[in-house]
Structure 1
Amino acid sequence: MQDEEVLAEFRASKALLEGHFLLSSGRHTARYLQCARVLMNPDRAGRLAVALAAALPRDLRKQITKVVSPAMGGVIIGHEMGRALGVEALFVERPTGTFELRRGFALEPGDKVLMVEDVVTTGLSSREAIKAIEEAGAEVIAAAALVDRTGGTVDLGVPFTALIALNFPTYAPDEVPAELAAIPAIKPGSRAQP
């Protein structure tokens, strides 16, 4: 799937939002991708997952025994990636602020895991999810996301593949341009704000 085709999927679902958004990282931006909207259509979610799975290096795809994603944002794309790869899909969640497996989910020693997110902005959630997966006894062999918003700078400690890279400017709280500051900020993500 080419970048323009991926963007067409986001536009068709009205997932590309404009306004003033406060990201989970504490940074501000005028554009936000609401991946939940692009993933709410099962056919679209499936197409995107198949395309993301195809973008993974072939040798890695063959090794993956489980897909694990962080709740909330990664649950749908993680499930669809499990379907695309023909493996089980689990998720980690933060009932007390730290990612952990719950709901009877378990990883076995020797499991080779693909950690999947919807969007990677700073890599914090991804690194936290990877840590939880490793603490559960599995090996994370790669990470993937629909969207890389890091400008290609993220280091998750494992190979990382994104379906598309989008680089919207973000601003520290003391750097927000006046025209953006004049608009009330919305907290669109699922993660608690700093």
Structure 2
Amino acid sequence: MTDEDVLDEFRAAEALLEGHFILSSGLRSSRYLQCARVLSDPKRAARLAEALVAKLPADLNIDIVVSPAMGGVIAGHEMGRALGVEALFLERPDGVFELRRGFRLIPGQRVLMMEDVVTTGLSSREAIAAIGRAGGIVVAGAALVDRSDGNADLGVPFYPLIRLSVPTYAADSLPPELSAIPAIKPGSRAA
């Protein structure tokens, strides 16, 4: 699947949005990829996950997929299905990621940490730390979209399906075209 094929999947789902968006990181952007919309179609979600699995090195020997809630839940589930392994998710009941609902990792289990979108890598690093506290070994991170243009450092090898160069801005450093548009926060995490 080419980058244009991936973007076509987002366009077909009306998930490639233009406007003024407040990202989970607190940064602002003129483009937003609404992964929940693109993943709402099980066939489309399967195609994207299978395309991402094809990009992973064969020697990762992944035992389990763990993703952060909320955005990574469906992406993680689809990666687990495509890899033929179990998929768990982390939650933040008190602001810090942890496994809940009876989920647990076997000490030393090889984990793929799966995100929907990575912008700064903060949520991914927090998820990786939580996986480590739970006894897992994160062998790689993956995401449908890397918005950092390759600049996010997760501390582990990182495999996105697509890398995009989408400028982000601090709220006090907006270009005039963004300042003129009301901001909306489409993500799942409070800033």
Q: TM-score range by the shorter chain?
A: over 0.9
2:90–2:100: 8 Å Cα contact kept in structure 1?
A: yes
- Give CA-to-partner distance per residue, 1:137-166, whole Å, 9 cap, x none: 110000000000111111111110000011
TM-score (normalizing by structure 2): 0.98
SS at match of 1:156: coil
Aligned amino acid, residue 64 of structure 1: I
Alignment of 1:167-182 (within 5 A): 167-182=165-180
Shift of 1:178: 1.8
Post-superposition offset of 1:179: 2.0
1:76 partner letter = I
Aligned partner of 1:8 in structure 2 is 8
Q: Which residue of 1 aligns with 2:38?
A: 38
State the identity %: 73
CA shift, 1:27, in A, is 1.1
Alignment of 1:96-107 (within 5 A): 96-107=94-105
Matches within 5 A, 1:1-194: 1-60=1-60, 63-193=61-191
Q: Deviations over 1:29-78 (max 9, x none)?
A: 11100000000000000010011111001111xx1000000000000010
Partners of 2:149 and 2:166 within 8 A in 1: no
Whole-angstrom distance in 2 between the partners of 1:85 and 1:99: 24
> Quick one: distance in 1 between partners of 2:83 and 2:22?
34
Kindly tell me the number of residue pairs found equivalent between the two proteins: 191
CA contact (8 A) 2:148 2:166 kept: no
Of 162-171 and 117-126, the range deviating more from structure 2: 162-171
Partner letter of residue 47 of structure 1? Answer: R
Give structure 1 stretches of 5+ with no counterpart: none
Shift in Å, 1:192: 1.1
Deviation string, structure 1 residues 92-113 (Cα, Å, up to 9, x no partner): 0101100000001000112100
Q: TM-score, normalised by structure 1?
A: 0.97
Partner amino acid, structure 2, of 1:4: E
AA of the residue aligned to 2:96: T
User: What amino acid sits opposite 2:41 in the alignment?
Assistant: N
- Report the RMSD for the aligned CA atoms in angstroms: 0.7
Q: CA deviation at 1:185?
A: 0.4
CA distance in 2, matches of 1:25, 1:187: 11
Whole-Å separation in 2 of the counterparts to 1:168 and 1:95: 31
Distance in 1, Cα, partners of 2:36 & 2:10: 10
